[in-house]
């Protein structure tokens, strides 16, 4: 037991007390071993109790000696006693030997008492050392506690300052994030006016947008009749106001149709249907309906700053294949390329005021759909194309052209923002 407890550093006091207990028990058993000659009469009974208590005495002495050896203390007295009793194996009482045994026991008990006193002195020293160490630890703990109590207010102030700083920083980040989101929405809105939404979503996903070929689309061109003369007799602000009024109305109108406004250059207005999202063979009818709607909306319109002069446009439409793609990086634009675009432009430039001039391919597409009123214009010499028969789009049979009240421009902007956010 002592060997096992020695490995526990903090149990050395317990080991010392155990050794004191062992030597005390050995003294008790030794006293009992030689007490029976005084109280018992039978020699056999005396010897039985002698052997029993001597055996226990030797066990306790062995344990005490083991502890003393482990602690490096003087164990010579116990060694002598162990050797003495072990050398007389089978020690027995004999007639007339009681006095001798009692005197020997008293001598051995006196020796063990001296060992006990030495051991108790050692235990007291160990206990005092432990108490001093405990007091020192307690004092150190008290000093640390006092320091903590003194420093805690400062730490709390620093913590509050840090928390306030973090909160302010977080608020500034939130404000900056909101501003960034708002600016991003503005940039997305601006891009949405320059690029179609499907193309814009690809760009936002940081994917390339390769050029795409379309087998059949319908292109619309229009410009203001006499725009050069109007500009020459108007101030720049009057011209800008007139164009803003006109194109705002156009933008409101085309929202009713499956078309995409490609661009406006000066007084030229370009719209296409069938791209960037294909719509089957509906592109011709969408452009035709839109063209008729724009023409009717300008009936009787006058130049805002020159009320005596009518505001009139001419329009040209053509159907055919083309290629579309994003051109440029600083100011990307969704551009169309192909002979169909040139033909549509020629239809517009060779047209007449407040009339919709269409090519043979557009006429064929509308005839396939049906329900449109088309009149032949005759043969026209088209630059780059030669002489071809062209047509006027006059209207639509038994069908209402105008849709319900169109969405206003500000509503359109909000719808675009919502689409961008969802995507």
Predicted pLDDT at 27:
76
Residue 190 lies in a domain: no
Question: Do 219 and 131 have their domain in common?
Answer: no
Question: Do 127 and 269 have their domain in common?
Answer: no
Predicted pLDDT at 403:
41
Residue 161 lies in a domain: no
User: Burial code of 258-289, b = ≥16 C-beta within 10 A, e = fewer?
Assistant: bbbbbebeebebbbbbbbbeeeeebbbbbbbb
Question: Is 50 exceeded by the pLDDT of residue 276?
Answer: yes
3-state secondary structure of 301: coil
Residue 196 lies in a domain: no
Q: Considering Cα of 206, then 211, then 214, then 215, what sign does the dihedral take?
A: negative
DSSP 32-60: HHTTHHHH---HHHHHHHHHHHHHHHHHH
Average the pLDDT over 47-53 and give the result.
70
Question: Do 227 and 96 have their domain in common?
Answer: no
Predicted pLDDT at 199:
74
Name the nearest CA neighbour of 34 among 105, 108, 90: 105
Among candidate residues 89, 110, 135, the one where a domain is terminated: 135
Question: Do 307 and 416 have their domain in common?
Answer: yes
Residue 168 lies in a domain: no
Question: Do 410 and 309 have their domain in common?
Answer: yes
Question: Is 80 exceeded by the pLDDT of residue 279?
Answer: yes
Question: Do 130 and 216 have their domain in common?
Answer: no
Q: Cα–Cα distance between 362 and 390 in angstroms, integer?
A: 10
Residue 50 lies in a domain: yes
Q: Cα–Cα distance between 143 and 335 in angstroms, integer?
A: 81
Q: How many domains does the chain have?
A: 2
Q: Strand 313-327 to strand 356-358: parallel, antiparallel, or no bridges (unpaired)?
A: parallel
Residue 163 lies in a domain: no
Question: Do 220 and 126 have their domain in common?
Answer: no
Question: Do 284 and 407 have their domain in common?
Answer: yes
The mean of the pLDDT values for the chain is 78
Residues 317-361: pLDDT tens digits?
999 999 988 877 777 788 888 888 899 988 888 888 888 999 999
CATH number of the CATH domain containing 410: 3.30.70.1230
Predicted pLDDT at 319:
92
Residues 380-420: pLDDT tens digits?
888 878 888 899 998 888 655 444 333 333 333 444 334 43
DSSP 136-168: HHHHHHHHHHHHHHHHHHHHHHHHHHHHHHHHH
What token pair was written down for 362? 């557009």
What token pair was written down for 290? 């839109």
Residue 240 near residue 304, CB atoms below 8 Å = no
Predicted pLDDT at 201:
75
Give ∠ CA 271-188-277 in degrees, rounded to 5.
40
Question: Do 224 and 363 have their domain in common?
Answer: yes
Task: Give the distance, in angstroms, between the CA of residue 252 and the centroid of all CA atoms in the same chain.
Answer: 41
Q: What is the pTM of this model?
A: 0.55
Residue with tokens 């050797």: 83
Average the pLDDT over 261-283 and give the result.
85
Predicted pLDDT at 419:
42
Question: Do 299 and 408 have their domain in common?
Answer: yes
Question: Do 215 and 119 have their domain in common?
Answer: no
Q: What's the pLDDT band for 12 if we cut at 50, 70, 90?
A: low
Predicted pLDDT at 59:
77
Question: Is 70 exceeded by the pLDDT of residue 41?
Answer: no
Question: Is 60 exceeded by the pLDDT of residue 89?
Answer: no
Question: Do 110 and 247 have their domain in common?
Answer: no
Predicted pLDDT at 162:
92
Residues 235-264: pLDDT tens digits?
888 888 888 888 888 888 888 888 988 887
Residue range(s) defining the domain that contains residue 311: 211-422
Predicted pLDDT at 155:
85
Residue 81 lies in a domain: yes
Residue 304 lies in a domain: yes
Among candidate residues 72, 105, 135, the one where a domain is terminated: 135
Among candidate residues 72, 107, 135, the one where a domain is terminated: 135
């Amino acid at each position: 037991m002592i060997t096992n407890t020695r490995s526990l550093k903090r149990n050395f006091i317990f080991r010392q007390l155990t050794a004191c207990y062992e030597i005390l028990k050995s003294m008790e058993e030794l006293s009992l071993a030689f007490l029976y000659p005084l109280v018992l009469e039978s020699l056999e009974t005396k010897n039985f109790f002698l052997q029993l208590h001597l055996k226990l005495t030797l066990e306790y002495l062995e344990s005490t000696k083991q502890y003393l050896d482990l602690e490096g203390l003087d164990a010579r007295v116990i060694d002598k006693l162990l050797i003495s009793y072990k050398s007389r194996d089978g020690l027995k009482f004999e007639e007339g030997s009681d006095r001798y045994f009692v005197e020997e026991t008293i001598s051995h008990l006196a020796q063990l008492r001296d060992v006990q006193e030495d051991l108790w002195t050692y235990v007291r020293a160990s206990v005092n050392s432990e108490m001093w160490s405990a007091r020192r630890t307690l004092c150190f703990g008290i000093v640390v506690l006092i320091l903590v109590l003194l420093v805690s207010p400062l730490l709390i102030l620093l913590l509050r300052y840090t928390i306030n700083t973090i909160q302010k920083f977080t608020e500034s980040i939130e404000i900056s994030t909101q501003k960034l989101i708002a600016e991003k929405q503005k940039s997305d809105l601006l891009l949405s006016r320059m690029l179609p939404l499907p193309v814009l979503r690809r760009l936002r996903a940081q994917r390339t947008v390769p050029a795409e070929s379309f087998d059949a689309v319908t292109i619309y061109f229009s410009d203001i009749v006499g725009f050069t003369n109007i500009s020459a007799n108007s101030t720049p602000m009057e011209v800008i106001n007139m164009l803003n009024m006109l194109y705002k109305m156009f933008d409101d109108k085309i929202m009713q149709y499956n078309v995409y406004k490609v661009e406006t250059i000066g007084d030229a207005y370009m719209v296409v249907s069938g791209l960037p999202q294909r719509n089957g063979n509906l592109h011709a009818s969408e452009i035709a309906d839109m063209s008729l709607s724009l023409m009717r909306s300008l009936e009787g319109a006058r130049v805002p700053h020159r009320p005596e002069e009518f505001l009139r446009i001419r329009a040209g439409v053509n159907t055919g294949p083309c290629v579309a793609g994003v051109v440029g990086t600083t100011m990307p634009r969704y551009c169309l390329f192909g002979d169909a675009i040139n033909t549509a432009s020629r239809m517009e430039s060779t047209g007449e005021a407040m009339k919709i001039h269409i090519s043979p391919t557009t006429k064929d597409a509308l005839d396939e759909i049906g329900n449109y009123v088309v009149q032949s214009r005759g043969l026209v010499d088209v630059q780059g194309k030669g002489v071809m028969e062209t047509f006027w789009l006059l209207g639509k049979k038994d069908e209402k052209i105008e849709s319900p009240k169109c969405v206003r421009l500000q509503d359109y902007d909000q719808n675009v923002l919502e689409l961008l956010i969802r995507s």
